[in-house]
Amino acid sequence: MQEYLEVFKQQYPFTLLNEDQYQKIFDGASLSTFKKNQFIFHEDESEDDIDIYFVMNGLAKNIMHRSNGKQLSVRYYYPGDLVGVMITLTSGEMKFSVQAIEETKALRFHKKQFLEVMAENQAFSQIVIEGISNLMKSLYQEIKYKSSDQSERDYERDLFKQRIVTYSEAPSIIHEDASLQHAVSQMQQEQVGGLIVCDEENYCKGVLNYQDIFKAYLNQDFSNPLKEYVKEEPYVVSERDFIYDALSFLKHNHAAIIPVLHKQKVVGLIRQTSFLKMQNSVYFDLRYQIAKTSTLEQLKNLAPRYNREFQKFVEQLLEDQMLAYDVCELISSYNDEIHKQVVHIAEEAMIEEGYGTPPINYCFIVMGSEGRKEQAFSTDQDNGLILSDYEHLENKDEIEKYFQIFSEKINFMLESCGFPLCTGGIMAKEPKWRHSYQSWKETIQQWIQRMDAEEIRDFTIFVDFRPIVGDFTLAYELREFVTAKIKRSLNLQQLLMKDTLRFRVPVQPFGRIHGTGKTRVVNLKKSAIMQIVNAVRIYAIKYGIDDINSIKRLETLEEHERFHHRDVENAKLALHRLLKFRVQQNLKQIQDEKPLSNEISVTALSKEDKKTLRDALMIAKRLQQVLELSYNRNRVV
C-alpha cells in the first residue's frame, strides 16, 4: 500500500496538496478490488454509505435507470478517474450505480476527509469540480445526441462522406472452375451484366462480363474454365472505403462491376446502377488521370503537394464542414493512387533497364499516418517491402539486388512527387525495412524481446502498416502474426506507453496553452494528435484489435465496451479539430510558398479558434494522464 501512496504523491491532481492535506485525504484510505460485473456501489445504497474512489486500473461504467425500466450507461471510468464525487456534491440528488466491466482496483477515500481537503485547497477543489462540470456538459451532449438520432438517419449526406458498404449490393458469384456456358446461364437467370469469379474460399479471382463472353465467341473458345477468361486483375474496393473510390472508376468504366471485399473475401458488388445519383467532381478526373500517367513528370503534377485543383477540392470539403479525419482519409486514398502508379512506373523502368519483371511476389506497404489513412499535406515517407520467402532459392543474391534497386527507384520517385525521404530512414530502400515474410516474423520477434527506447519509435510507426501494391496476403498474414504477438507482450505495451509520454500535451490544468517563442508555437502532430493516436493504439493492442485507422480503432473499442460512446465521440471530435487545424495550416503554407510543417502559432489564432484548440488539447491530455497512471502503477507493482 505504501508503494502506491508514493506514486500518488507524484500523480496529478494530488500534487496540488500540501503534506498535511495529503495525509488527511489518504488517512484511512483502503485498496479495494472488484471482479468483473461486481458493483463498486449501487444506487439503492444510502448516500451515507457511498464513498469516493480513485480508479487505479481496470474499467468501470455507471448505470442509470430510466422510469421505463431501461438501463442507460452515460460514461466509463478509466485509471485516474474519481468515482462518487458527483453523488456527494449533489447531496444524492443524482444517483447511479457503478459496475466493474473488468477486474478493477480502486483506492477508497473517506468522504468526510476528502470534502474537508476540497474546502481547504481551492486549486484542488477547482480541478475536481471542473471534472464534474465537464461530465455535465457530456451528459448534455449525450441527450442532444440521442434526440438527434432520427434526424441524422433521415439526412442524406454528401456522397463524399459515405462508405462503400452503404451502396453495396449482394454479389453475383461463380466458381473459377465453372464453364463459360454455366456463366452465361447464370447471368441470364440473375439478370446481371457480370459475375465475380471466386475460389472455394470466396477470394476474388476476377470479373467476368459481356466483353469477355464476346471475346470468347469471336475466338470460338468455349471449353476452358472461367479462370482462363479473367486473368486481368480486377479493380476492387473495401467495404470501408469511401464511395468516391468506386465512383472515380465507374465514371470512366461505365459497364464495369466492382467487387467489394472484406479482408480479401468478396462480400458485395458496386455498379453504376447502385447509385441513385452521381456527382461530378474534379476528384474523379484527377484519380483517372493518375491511372493513365506514364511518366514521373505527369504524376508529379497530379500529386497533392503540387496540384492546385486538388488543394481547392480539399479546401471546399473543409468549408462544407466535412469531418477533418474523413478529409485526411481522402487525402491518404489519393496518395495511395500516387504510390501505386509510382510502383508501376518503377516496374516499367526496371524492365527497360534490363532487370526484368519482379522475380518473386512482393507487397509494398505504407506505415505511420499514411498506413492509418490520416495524412495531411506535410508528410514524409514511411514505407517498406514484404517479399515472398526466397532465401532457399539459388538466385537469392540476384533477388536481393533486384529489390534493392527497385525500392530505391520507388523512394526517389516518391520524393519527386512531394513525399520527402524519411529522415529516420524508414523506407523500403533500407535493408531494415525490406525483408522476406519469414525474416519479417523473426525481426518482429526480436524487436519484441529486445526492444529499447530508441527502437520503440520505429516500431510505433511500423505497427500501423497497410498494403498498397502487390501480394496483399503477405501483409494480411503478417498483420495477424503481429497482432497476436503484441497483445501478449506486456513489456512492449509498457514501452509504448513510456514512449508516448515523451511529449507532453502543451496545456495547463486551467486551460492555458503552452507554446515556444513569442508567438507560442505548438507542434500539432507531436504535442497533440499523436497523443490521441498513440493512446488509442495502445488500447487497441491491449485488446487484440487489428484495426489500423484511429477512428475505426475507437469505434471497435466502443463496440467491445472498452471505451464509452461519449469518450469515443470526444476523442473523435478532438482529432477532427486538430487535423482540421493541421490541414488548413498546410494549405496556407502551400499558398504562401512556405515549407510545410505541423506547427501553429497560438497568438495568431482568433479567440474562438484558441478555445477550440484548448478543448481538443484537454481531451488529448486526459488520455495521456490515463496512460501515465497505468505506467506508474505497473512500475511499482
Query: What one-character DSSP code corresponds to residue 421?
Result: P
pLDDT for position 345: 96
pLDDT for position 143: 44
Closest CA to 550 of 369, 318, 364: 369
CATH 3.30.460.10 occupies which residues in the chain? 282-486
Show the CA angle centred on residue 632, arms to residues 627 and 633, nearest 5°: 95
* 3-class secondary structure, 499: helix
Element (H, E) at 246: helix 243-250
Fold of 164-274: CBS-domain (3.10.580)
Label residues 261-289 b or e (16+ Cβ within 10 Å = b).
Answer: beeeebbbbbbbebeeeeeebebbebbeb
Show the CA angle centred on residue 120, arms to residues 114 and 126, nearest 5°: 80
CB 105 within 8 A of CB 52: no
pLDDT for position 259: 94
CATH 3.10.580.10 occupies which residues in the chain? 164-274
What CATH number does the domain located at 1-148 have? 2.60.120.10
Extract the residue ranges of the chain whose pLDDT is less than 50: 67-68, 140-157, 276-280, 633-637
CATH 1.20.120 occupies which residues in the chain? 498-634
Closest CA to 629 of 3, 2, 10, 1: 10
- Residues facing residue 109 across a β-bridge: 52
Q: Dihedral angle at the C-alpha atoms of 531, 533, 538, 541, nearest 10 degrees? A: -170
What is the DSSP secondary-structure string of 468-530? EEE-HHHHHHHHHHHHHHHHH-HHHHHHHHHHHTSS--SB-TTSPBP-BTTTTEEEHIIIIIH
Sign of the Cα pseudo-torsion (352, 355, 361, 364, in order): negative
Rg, the chain, Cα only = 28
CATH 2.60.120.10 occupies which residues in the chain? 1-148
Give dist(CA 131, CA 367) in Å, integer.
36
pLDDT for position 90: 61
Strands in 210-366 per DSSP E: 237-238, 257-262, 265-271, 362-366
CATH class of 282-486: alpha beta
pLDDT for position 264: 83
pLDDT for position 9: 67
Query: What one-character DSSP code corresponds to residue 155?
Result: S
**How many CB atoms are closer than 10 A to CB 350?**
18
- Decide which of 1.10.510, 2.60.120, 3.30.70, 1.20.120 is the CATH code for 498-634: 1.20.120
